[in-house]
Every structure is written in structure tokens, then in C-alpha cells.
Amino acid sequence: MNESSVHTKSQIHEVIDKLRPEQLAQLWEYVEELVHEPAAPLYYVHEQAIPTGVRDLADQHNHYLYGVTKRDDG
């Protein structure tokens, strides 16, 4: 397996099963560090959402962004 390939869960388990105890301890420390890493700010972008009252923004984005006449998709 090369470094750029995506591994299946069973492949990962197989590799972990082959680790020596000291390697397993190092892996565990690494995983714990990952768990405590703060998430990227973009992950929290939803916390900045505010109600706008605009219910058709996805359909009429050109109207709201550029001022063109709304389309009548009725």
C-alpha cells in the first residue's frame, strides 16, 4: 500500500494488529492529540448564521446579489 492510497477499515485494523506495544502506545498518543485539536474555524461557520427572511435566495440569488429582476418560475 502506498502513502496516497485510501485504506479500508479492515486494512487499518490489520496494520494496527501488527504494531508492537511501544508503537501502539505512540499511535494512541497521536490519536489523543487529534481528538483535542481545535476544529478549523470554517467548521463553526453555521454559528454565525442569522435569520434574513429571504426564503428564495438559492433560486433568486442573481436578484439579491446583482439586482436583476426576479425570475417567475411559477
What stretches of the chain show up as alpha helix (H) in DSSP? 9-17, 21-36, 61-66
The reported pTM is 0.42
Tell me: pLDDT of 3 over 90.
Answer: no
In whole angstroms, how far apart are CA 60 and each of 46, 51, 53, 63? 21, 17, 13, 5
Tens of pLDDT, residues 26-70: 999 999 988 888 888 898 999 999 998 889 988 999 999 999 999
Tell me: pLDDT of 1 over 60.
Answer: no
Tell me: pLDDT of 4 over 80.
Answer: no
Tens of pLDDT, residues 13-28: 999 999 999 999 999 9
Q: What is the DSSP letter of 55?
A: S
- Give 11's Cβ-side CA count (13 Å radius): 6
pLDDT recorded at residue 74: 58
